[in-house]
Amino acid sequence: MKPVEPIVPLVPVAPVLEVQGLTTWLRTPRGIVTAVDNVSLSVAPGRALAIVGESGSGKSMTCLSMLGLLPSNGQVAAGEVRFKGRNLLALSREDMARVRGREIGMILQDAMTSLNPLMTIGSQVAEVFRYQQGIRDRAELRRKTIDVLTRARIPAAQDRLDSYPFQFSGGMRQRVSIAMNIACEPDLLICDEPTTALDVTVQTQIIGLLDTLRRERNMAIVFITHDLHLASQFCDDVAIMYAGRIVEAGPVDRVFAKPVHPYTEGLLRAVPTLGATGERLATIAGQPPVLSDLPAGCRFAPRCAYASALCHERYPDWYEWNEGADSVDPRGERRVACHATEARLQAAWSAS
Ligand code: SF4
């Protein structure tokens, strides 16, 4: 098969997803906490955005808020989620259900949780075509099911239709989950740690498959992960989340090559290097804050080596700049929320 060419838009492309000021509250025994706080992001067709952060940083909650899938104690308190121009937050439950699955797919960490253990693989995939596209003809359902399973790299798909999920390996189950989510050729695929439960070889295969499908279909991808290596391999852009907020965002190669936010810097320093011996792995001292007891100013201040008095008093505003101003590619945009940004940028530029 001919290799798929990378997508390089000649002019900036309008985003397929644009989130503005998304804020989500959760009712907890300790009161109402803000799990997602004023999050803004966008992703264009054919591009992949990584949302990176520790457990509890708000990555998954951001995506559940966008899709109207919050738990019963959750509520979107503010913001807009524009998908192909429509505000998803204003859609009825029925309209939102049609958007999910048909125009937006979501792949979860453990495919076993998204597959019905009592239904055969074939009938589960066919169900997507029946529900979302109203197809009733059995021969057509079978043909489409085999076709999409084959596209998801299930070998001899025609012979596996009567298999149950427990008869498949973890990697094969994830492929079935991918097949179900690309069946209706969505414009946006949200992947929530889709390879965490898989071994490294299968992980590479699944990432390769997602990347090929993205390029073939010009599909946008939001990729939730805590794995910086995967984010850098697979994604174009990255948003780093900490305690419910995005603290740094931009093109993944530039952010990882020259992180500006001290938290991003700490995360990158903590990535183990193959072959490094005799050195202790760097860590970020302290723990992320509890959402019900957030610090008054910058949420990272109790762990930050650069914290000043101002950091403990006031949350920093966004500092935005464009490193690719000479390019028609919109990849130049970078933003960071840190009081020390100007000093840190000057130090980085004078050192380079
Ligand atoms: Fe550190 Fe202050 Fe920047 Fe927060 S605002 S990351 S405390 S330097």
| The domain over range 17-103+184-273+280-351 is classified in CATH as 3.40.250.10 | no
Residue 47 structure tokens = 């591009």
User: In 21-38, which positions are buried (b, 16+ CB within 10 angstroms) versus exposed (e)?
Assistant: ebbbbbeeeeeebbbbbb
- Residue from 314, 339, 344, 345 whose mutation best tests the ligand 1 pocket (most atoms within 8 A of CB): 339
Cα 315 to middle of ligand 1, angstroms: 9
Question: Is 300 close to ligand 1, i.e. is its CB under 6 Å away?
Answer: yes
Tens-binned pLDDT, residue by residue, of the chain (352 aa) = 334 444 444 445 789 999 999 999 999 998 999 999 999 999 999 999 999 998 889 999 999 999 999 999 999 999 999 999 999 999 999 999 889 988 999 988 777 778 999 999 999 999 999 998 899 999 999 999 999 999 888 999 999 999 999 999 988 898 999 999 899 889 999 999 888 777 888 888 888 888 998 998 899 999 999 889 889 989 999 999 999 999 999 999 999 998 999 999 999 998 877 776 777 778 888 899 999 999 999 999 999 999 999 999 999 999 988 876 554 445 558 899 999 988 877 776 666 6
Distances (CA, A) of 162 to 102, 157, 328: 24, 10, 50
Residue 349 structure tokens = 């530029």
Q: List the chain domain ranges.
A: 17-103+184-273+280-351
Question: Vertex 227, ends 212 and 125: CA angle to 5°?
Answer: 45
Specify the 3-state DSSP secondary structure of 56. Answer: coil
Considering only CA atoms, which of 62, 67, 133, 148 is closest in space to residue 100? 67
Let me know: does 65 contact 237? Beta carbons within 8 Å: no
What pTM value is reported for the model?
0.89
Q: Kind of pairing, strands 188-192 and 220-225?
A: parallel
Taking the C-alpha atoms of residue 52 and residue 193, their distance in angstroms, rounded to an integer, is: 10
